[in-house]
Amino acid sequence: MGITGLVSWVKKFHPEVIVHFPNRWASANFTGKKVAIDATLMTNRYHFASRDGPFKGKGEIIGWYNLITEMRAFGVQPIAIWDERGTREWKAPEALKRLTTRANHLARKNHENERLIRLESLREVFKEFQIMSKEEKDIIRAHWETTRFMFMRPEESENENELKLQEHHLKNKIEFSNPLPTPPPTPKRSDHDVPLETVRSGLDKSTNIETAGLPLTPPPTPPLPSGIAEPSKAAQLNSTLSEADSEVIDRVVGMIDSLAPLIQEYRDSQRGTTKKEDEIHLTLGMEGGIVEMEEEIREWIPNKKTTSNAEGQDRSKEEKDKDREEKLEELDYALEELLPLNQISETPRQMALSREEGKIISDILSTPPLPPFKSAYPTLTSKPQSEIATATSEEPSEVYEEDPIERLDNLIKFELPMVKSIYERALDIPSAADHEDCKEFLKVMGVPVLEAKIPYEAEGLASALAKNGLVDYVATEDSDVLAYEGPLLKNISPITSTLSLISGSKLREKLNLTPSEYLDFLILLGTDASPRIPTIGPINALKLIKLYKSIENILNNQPNLIKKLKNSYPSISKENFLKLIYNARKVFKELPLIENFKLELELGLKQEQKEWNEELIENYLKDKHGISFIPKKYEL
């Protein structure tokens, strides 16, 4: 969104062109000023920032109320500008980036769904493990220490005669009273996997299993205590197995049979991090119809019933919401078909969950069993002060560690849902109906509402109004305003942040570039209309522009840049890239005509200058959105 990396570069290398206003709208610079707000972007931000609670789904309305109330309190006049609904062909590259981001969120949400199923299964298996006898646990832990359960059942496709011979061999070795439980489906065996039958045949032989080539569980496994590391101890455990009754053997093998596939599934789920250049992304030519599909979903407005039956209206809305959810599922399925979502890496928070999951498995199966765990939050007993002082000074402080089963429960109930909710919120894109509600509410608040017609966008219309003196600032997080050489006002939300003003014209003067050079410099960084050439950031782009003056000259003199471009975007030729560059130039050079907006803006500002009808607004919020204010007598 906007010019890639521009604002960060300006903050680092040219902070002198940024003016900060820690007092926000209370600053004298804003009194009586008109501020055009990119309302499409702000509504989206409020939507994604909304949390669970009594006002879930009302984040946009509450966000707008707080912002407009604050601005009006200090005599600042807001003007809200929305994008007209519909597809802007020149934004195809940006749409693909947006869909790639959605694919990442989708993959990471699915990753957590799979983790939840696995953790719940592990929880059930470990509950059974906890009630096993000490002898049975010792056997299982000994095999964990020597094999890390890197063994699985032979696949169905293996030679049936071989399977029969193996089964016959096992029956001759051990007599079983009960059949083995059927394990859940497991991944294919790797070269390091040891057949599950090795476990059975090893139950009555004092043989040591070779572990040199076996990979460990991904997280670090604590070293074996000195007592269990002795070969004699492992040999003792193996030698006693032949003396165990068949029920014990069945329970041990059944437990390993249940744990092994789950632990292998955990291993297979590890994705680690991915280098930026190796990240998967949609490119031009492979998107099919998903751009149009997403636009349709974004424009989804439930039809309103004319019936006065409230129950019928609610049912109609539920049906429409269900239809939209089905459309979202179609979109996500199409993304899964286009991109290998299982190759998307974990985020740092997800990697932390994976480390904890692996450590829990390792802690529960460690040998010998760890000492009894203390509660994570021990109850302090009352002791005389002198006794406490003596104990503190003479004895080492006791370290309290939470039981791994409790940690597993915490992972399932709290930590995993918290991470998963991040991606669920990101996938919950606002619909046109959400935007229409905000437009209607702002009109009730007396805020002028304008619409940027296709092919223009809100920041383009706002910049045109600013260049013609009809507004003083353009409030948005979209750095495209700087390409129009407009006054970009950032951080208008949340209300606790410091406002920052960057003037596009002052930035151009500071860089000592002509208008055409300045525009090409920004386009070279990457825009919504054109991709960035890999390895070309602001520093290199500025050097190239000052040397060659235009993007065409740069490409003619630096053919290696085209190779870099094709490596990242195989479907883009030099001619196609220059076409996208032309589209970007056209977007920033051709501003919308403002004559059609002058009268509309003047009428809106006159309406806004009237006294604010607080009662009307409160009644509207209560009746339309179920939002009520706390009466002043109850305020603290």
For the segment 486-531, what is each residue's pLDDT rounded down to a tens digit? Answer: 999 999 998 889 999 999 999 999 999 999 999 999 999 999 888 8
| Three-state DSSP state, 541 | helix
How many domains does the chain fold into? 1
359 or 397, which is more confident?
Answer: 359
The alpha carbons of the chain give a radius of gyration, in whole angstroms, of 32
Per-residue pLDDT at 431:
81
Structure confidence at residue 600 (pLDDT): 74
Does a structural domain hold residue 435? Answer: no
The answer to whether residue 413 sits within a structural domain is no
Say if 188 falls within a structural domain: yes
Q: pLDDT by residue (tens digit) across 409-441?
A: 999 999 999 999 888 888 887 888 889 999 999
The DSSP annotation for 128-154 comes to HHHTS-HHHHHHHHHHHHHHTT---PP
Q: Say yes or no to pLDDT of 444 above 60.
A: yes
What confidence tens digit (pLDDT) does each residue in 569-605 have? 777 888 989 999 999 999 999 988 888 777 777 766 6
CB atoms within 10 A of CB 143: 28
pLDDT digits (tens, 9 = 90+) for 536-580: 999 999 999 999 999 999 999 998 998 888 887 777 888 989 999
- The token pair at 313 is 């209206």
Average pLDDT of the chain is 76
- 118 CB neighbour count, 10 Å cutoff: 17
227-241, 472-486, 499-513: the lowest-pLDDT one: 227-241
Residues 6+ apart with CB under 8 A from 277: 534, 568
Strand order in the sheet with 77-83: 18-21, 499-503, 487-490, 473-475, 34-38, 77-83, 449-452
148 lies in some domain: yes
Residue 407 lies in a domain: no
Q: Is residue 253 part of a domain?
A: yes
Confirm whether 282 is domain-assigned: no
Beta strand residue intervals within 404-504, DSSP E? 449-452, 473-475, 487-490, 499-503
Q: Which long-range contacts (CB under 8 A, 24 or more apart) does 482-491 make?
A: 482/3, 482/6, 482/507, 482/522, 483/3, 483/519, 483/522, 483/523, 483/527, 483/588, 484/459, 484/460, 484/588, 484/591, 485/515, 485/518, 486/459, 486/462, 489/35, 490/7
Please state the separation of Cα 516 from the chain's center in Å. Answer: 38
Spatial distance between the Cα atoms of 333 and 261, rounded to a whole number of angstroms: 27
For residue 385, is pLDDT > 50?
no
Is 315 part of a structural domain of the chain? no
pTM of the model: 0.68
Using CB atoms within 10 Å of the CB of residue 200, give its burial: 0 to 12 exposed, 13 to 18 middle, 19+ buried.
Answer: buried
Structure tokens, 445: 């608040």
Cα 624–Cα 628–Cα 629 angle in degrees, nearest 5 = 140
pLDDT at 320: 59
Assign 592 to helix, strand or coil: coil
Kindly tell me if the per-residue pLDDT of 297 is higher than 50. Answer: yes
* Cβ burial, residue 539 (10 Å; 0-12/13-18/19+): exposed
> Which pLDDT score, from 0 to 100, does residue 317 have?
55
Range of the domain at 168: 102-269
Q: Above pLDDT 70, what percent of the chain?
A: 66
The residue that leads in pLDDT, 250 or 122, is: 122
Look up tokens 């740069």; give the residue: 554
* Cis peptide, bond prior to residue 448, ω within 30 of zero: no
Q: At what angle do helices 134-147 and 231-241 cross, to 10 degrees?
A: 120
The pLDDT value recorded for residue 229 is 39
Q: Measure the CA–CA gap between 206 and 239, rounded to whole angstroms.
A: 5
Q: How far apart are CA 214 and CA 100, in angstroms?
A: 37
**What are the two backbone dihedrals, phi and then psi, of residue 433, each rounded to the nearest 5 degrees?**
-60, -40
